[in-house]
Structure 1
């Protein structure tokens, strides 16, 4: 299977590190011209330098309307949009205030809503496009330790499904990708104290976390960012032309369902 995205422009939000960076790097390797987005100029420039000549940067905080407008001014069109930007913050439901709920909603949901409202009509006019939402297995397995996060990811899956139907017959596909526990910088930071306490390699600490907190995992470890990126690159390609409105799992089997 040969995936060639030469001539395509791909915008990946929240892509200075973690899953987003892995996706941007993999899309560039497949030939796409990639736009890396982040909130700070320093991190964006560093990520662009790591990807190389196929990448350029766009500094904007997409958790705000102003940040969205700033991004669109810098990137007026794109063939592929990966709405990857997301935050998570463990917090018991009864301790989670309105500000935390609103921040997760603005970053995890509304940033993607605004991007879709802007770029989907451009893709429709071109007769081709790929729009992807990075959701999570937490969209279906709502984590009790961060219900607010799970709810926002369920919204992403529903949004992708609705938009896919809205774009029917246009040559534009819309899908969501559901990673499970993934060994990104964010997860490494979350497990930092446990790693320091045990002295074990981060992969072993992450595997222990998965087995304790996501016991339905079939691979019984955290995925790598590259494993998630592989799914995204396929969905972003012409080869995935018959896949739309789908929630594609890269969750290691955590979601216990036949679908």
Structure 2
């Protein structure tokens, strides 16, 4: 009986902490504090209640901007997959918007909507809607034609085709689109908060840098990575595994 191969994924975080400790021991604390000093900074934020407020502000913006992007991306991607004319019409626009870094829209959004929730939510929307729309469109285009012909032979209407053929068959691509879109949205959120917000995780990082508090900066960076990792592991990977079997051979 062969023993299972050991997994080395568990060792990556301790290795990172070890490198961090070694590097911090050779640098001044105001440049790179030790991990326990960052943990102490985290406890200070937790006890004051500010950490929860900053995380909540970021998540609220993410949910608003990303949620709106999902709805619009589903509409654009599905329509682009079903209609050649619509696809030809939107393709140049999608290519143009995807070529522009999302953070470039932040100053314009701040001018239009002012400092606050809406400006950052719009940046998140722009960052995530087009990559998701393209992925969903490719999924609809990749649906096997025999499935559609069989449904039409059985008398399925256009609405029934959409609900019972196109939607189930494209779900693996929809879940992949959500994973890609969330990643883009999260990066845009943090960058936009560093430019034009008065609270949020990105604001924490920016303010820590301005006042020279490296512990606060590293705490914000750790939160950014931790929340993204949790979303990736708990939500999107599970969704992809669940619907991967639906992918047409």
Assess same fold via TM > 0.5.
no
Q: Which one has more relative contact order, counting CA pairs under 8 Å at least 6 apart?
A: 2
More helix by share: 2
Q: TM class by shorter-chain length?
A: under 0.3
Structure with bigger gyration radius:
2
Superposition TM-score, scaled by structure 1 size: 0.26
More strand by share: 1
Superposition TM-score, scaled by structure 2 size: 0.26
